Amino acid sequence: MALIKPTLKLCKIIYEVLLLMASFAALFWSVFPVMDNSIADYPLPYFAWYPYDTKTSPFYEVTYAYQIMCTFFTAMTSVCIDTLIASLNMYVGTQFDLLCDDLRNLRDEEDVNKKLISCIKHHKEILSFATNCNKFFNWILFLQFFMSAISLGLTMFQLTVVPSFSNEFYSLVFYFNAVFVEIFMYCWFGNEVEVKSSKIIYAVFECDWFQMSHQTKKVMIFFVSRCQKPVKVSALNLFYLSLETFVKILRTAWSYFALVYQVTSRN
């Protein structure tokens, strides 16, 4: 239970932080048009075409309310999806922690073989669960990472164009921070799964293996050979969720920003 409580607490904190950031981003993005005096009459949060005149009442009010509702709905949906994926990865990581704890506490007793076999079955179930989870959010991660690199790059460019410390500027800052934290969270917990799964080998050698029977040692050798390859969370097997991937995404976003900035500067 001592290994599970910190994970549950962290999951709750992550949900609250994401909810707060998404709410602020959606709020600023929704209200900045009516607060910004530099924008023309009847501004909307988003440019869109409608089969009616949005500059007449009550069509303007209805359209504005509709866009705000869509903004908050999209933000809350994103928070729920992000929290779910983070929770699944945290669950996998916690299961590896529990498995390592069981392996460290193996003792030369009569039922040590049963306990070791139970650990092997536990490891097999963790691998199966991690594989199923990865299949579940494969496409979500791929699209999220692809769009996030572009979003970060374009947002950085927009921050250089809009007036500093304006309502639109703060809206872009909140949006940039939300996307930044979202991608970092994915990569961090994906990296945690890889790190914790690689600790199984060390946990085996931290038990009293040298005092066990020859048959038990053979089973341990087989188990260690099976755990040589750490578990990695991937997106369509194109890249893995790790801190290295996070740095690559930031570099890609900066490349997009530099490209757009140079093109617009020349024009």
**Apex 129 CA angle, 123 and 200, nearest 5:** 30
**Does residue 160 contact residue 262 with C-beta atoms inside 8 Å?**
no
pTM: 0.84
Q: What is the pLDDT of residues 157-196, one digit of tens each?
A: 988 888 887 777 888 888 888 889 889 989 999 999 999 9
Q: What is the mean pLDDT of residues 94-115?
A: 86
User: How far is it, in rounded angstroms, from Cα 200 to Cα 228?
Assistant: 9
Q: Is the pLDDT of residue 94 over 60?
A: yes
| Phi-psi region at 236: left, alpha or beta (left = phi > 0; alpha = psi -120 to 50) | left
Name the pLDDT band for 129 (thresholds 50, 70, 90): very high
Q: What DSSP letter does each residue of 41-79 carry, written as one string?
A: SS--SS----SS-TTSTTHHHHHHHHHHHHHHHHHHHHH
Q: What is the pLDDT of residues 211-253, one digit of tens each?
A: 888 888 888 888 888 888 899 998 888 888 999 999 999 999 9
Q: What is the pLDDT of residue 247?
A: 93
Q: What is the mean pLDDT of residues 15-19?
A: 88
Q: What is the pLDDT of residue 167?
A: 74
Query: What percent of the chain lies above the pLDDT cut of 90?
Result: 28
Mean pLDDT computed over every residue of the chain: 87
SS3 string of 7-31? HHHHHHHHHHHHHHHHHHHHHHHHH
Decide: residue 172, CB within 10 A, 0-12 exposed, 13-18 middle, 19+ buried: buried
Name the pLDDT band for 39 (thresholds 50, 70, 90): low
Query: What percent of the chain lies above the pLDDT cut of 70?
Result: 96
Name the pLDDT band for 37 (thresholds 50, 70, 90): low
User: How far is it, in rounded angstroms, from Cα 232 to Cα 234?
Assistant: 6
- The residues with which 239 forms a beta bridge, in sequence order, are 235
Q: Is the pLDDT of residue 38 over 60?
A: no
Q: What is the pLDDT of residue 1?
A: 64
Residues in the chain, how many?
267
The three-state secondary structure class of 111 is: coil
